Copies of this chain bind each other. A is one copy, B any other.
Amino acid sequence: MADTQTRRRSRSGGGAARRAERTAVSVETARYIQRNIPDFEILTEEALELIEANAETVLEEIGVAFVNNPAALDRWRAAGADVTGERVRLPKGLARTLCATAPSTYTQHARNPDRSVEIGGRNLVLAPVYGPPFVHDAAGGRRYATMADFEKFVKLGYMSKWLHHSGGTICEPTDIPVNKRHLDMLKAHMTLSDKPFMGSVTEASRAQDSVEMCEILFGKDFVQNNTVMTSLTNINSPMTFDDVMMGALEVYARNNQACIISPFIVGGAMAPVSVAGTLTQVLAEVMAGIAYSQLIRPGAPVIFGAFVTSIDMNSGAPTFGTPEASQITYGAGQLARRLGLPFRSAGSFNGSKLPDAQAAYETANSLNMGLLSGVNFMLHACGWLEGGLVSSFEKFVMDADQLGALHKMAQGVAMDEDAQAMAAIAEVGPGGHYLGCAHTQANFKSAFWRAEVFDFKPYETWSEEGARDTVALATERVQYLIDNYRQPPLDPAIDDALTEYVAKKKASMPDSFM
C-alpha cells in the first residue's frame, strides 16, 4: 500500500544477509493517519460558546489548585493570576492567551526517521494501552505484569502494522522496583523498537532520566532542538494539579519535550454527571494546564487531553464505550480545534474481564468515535482490558488489527475516473457480475481492507479447523508475531551507553517498591 513503509530485518554480511533478506518477515508500519474525512461535530456554535464562557467563569471564580508547588504559584502570580493559598484564579482570557503560544502541530521524532510522527492537524497517531498493573492471556489468565511481559508488548507493538507509536507504560513491570522500572521500560522502547515512545512522569527525577536517556539515543543537541518524547501528565480532576505530575511537566516543557495534559475523569465522581458540565470542567482544566506549560517555556509542545469515562451508578464501577463518553469526546474535539491544539482521547476502552463480545462492542464504540471526533493522538488504541487494570495480549493484536479499519475509513472516498467505475458498470450491465471485469481485476488488491485476525472461511472449513473463536485466533497471532520478531538494528555504542546509564542509575539508589 502506498501509505506504508516497509522495513525488513537487515544484517551485516554477504550471502547470509541476502538469505536473511529473502526469508525475512516483512515488518511494515503504516504512516500515521492523515484524515481525508470531516469531523463529526455534535455541538452547535452556540453550545461551544456557552461552554467556553462557562470555563472562563470557572477559572476566574473557582480557580484551580496547584498543590505542594510554591514555584508554580510564583509563576502564576507573575503571570497575573489571583493566588490565594494553593488556589489559582485566572482572570477571564488569561488562560486562553497563554495557550496561544503552544504549537498546533509538532513532530515527534523516532530513532528511525521513517517512524517519526506529526501530531496535530488532520493527523491521527495510534499508541498502545498505558498503565495496567495486570496482564492477561488465554493460557495464563490474569496475573501481575512483569518486565518480560512488558518486553513482549513492545515487540508486539513493533510488529503491528497499524500502530505508529511504541507507547509508554504498556503494563507496569511489577517485578522491578518502582523507582527503577522507568529505566528498564525506556530501554526496552529504545532498543526493542524503533517507533516513537513516551517518557516517565512518576517523579520529576524520572522525567529527567528520560531526557538523559534520550540524549544518549538521539544526541544531546538533537533532543534540545527536537521533540523525541510525548508523555502523559494527568490532572487530578476536579481542577487539581499535583506536584508529581507538574514536576514531570516542568522537566519536559523546559526540554522542549511534549506532554499530554489530560483531565482524568470518571463522570459523576471527578466531574458533573452531565455532558455539558463535564466539558466545561475539562476545558477549564486543560486550559489551566496548558497555560502553565507555556509559563515554563512558551512554545513547548502540548496536547489537549481528555480521558473520560462514565460510571455505573449501581456499582460505582467506571464504564467504557458509552454514549455519554462519546458525546464528551466529540465535544472536547471541537473545543480543542477551536483552541488550535492537538487533541488526545479515545482508545480500546472497555470494562470487560475477558477479550469477549463486551470488550469488543465497547472498544469499537470508542475507536470509531475517536476517529470521527478528530483525535490526533490516541493512547490506549490497543490492548486495554478490564477498565485499564489489565493489558491483554490477545486483545492487543485484535485491537491493533482493527486499527487498520480506521486507516481505510480515514482515506475518504476517491472520486477520480477510475473510482467512478462507469466503464465497469457499462461492461457488466444488468444481471452480470463484477468478479471478472477489468476494473475489479485492476483494483481488487487494494479495494477492501481486510482484518488479519478474524475468520472469513466457510462454516465447514472453520469447523474442521477447530471452531476457534476470536481469542483463539488472536492467541495464534500473538505467537506468530513474537516468533517472527527481529530486533531493529541499533548502533552497539549507543546500546552499551544506555546499558551503562541504566546500571549506574540503578546502583545509585536502593530498591523501592512504594
Contact = CB atoms under 8 A, between A and B. Distances in A.
A317 B456 CA distance: 6
A513 interface: no
Contact of A440 (B65, B272, B406): B272
A443 B274 CA distance: 8
Given A269-B435, A409-B327, A310 B470 contact: no
Contact of A315 (B64, B433, B457): B457
B360 A274 contact: no
A6 to B, nearest CB: 20
Given A239-B431, A331-B413, A364 B358 contact: no
A37 B395 CA distance: 32
Taking residues whose C-beta sits less than 8 angstroms from the other chain, chain A's interface range is 35 or more
A127 interface: no
A480 interface: no
A469 B238 CA distance: 35
Contacts of A443: 273-274
A357 B395 CA distance: 9
A17 interface: no
Contact of A430 (B240, B357, B450, B470): B240
Contacts of A424: 272, 277
A457 B357 CA distance: 16
A359 B358 contact: no
Interface string A354-377: 111111111111001100100000
A155 B381 CA distance: 39
Contacts of A428: 238
Interface stretch (A54-62, A166-174, A220-228): A54-62
A238 B470 contact: no
Nearest to A277: B421
A201 B240 CA distance: 63
A426 B62 contact: yes
Most central of A58, A353, A456, A474 by chain B CB within 10 Å: A456
17 contacts: A43-B413, A50-B415, A50-B420, A238-B430, A268-B444, A273-B421, A276-B421, A277-B420, A280-B420, A313-B448, A323-B405, A323-B408, A324-B448, A356-B469, A360-B364, A364-B365, A386-B459
Given A323-B408, A351-B455, 20 more contacts: A38-B40, A40-B40, A50-B420, A57-B422, A62-B429, A238-B432, A238-B434, A267-B448, A270-B434, A273-B439, A274-B419, A277-B420, A281-B425, A322-B408, A323-B405, A356-B471, A357-B360, A357-B474, A360-B360, A361-B364
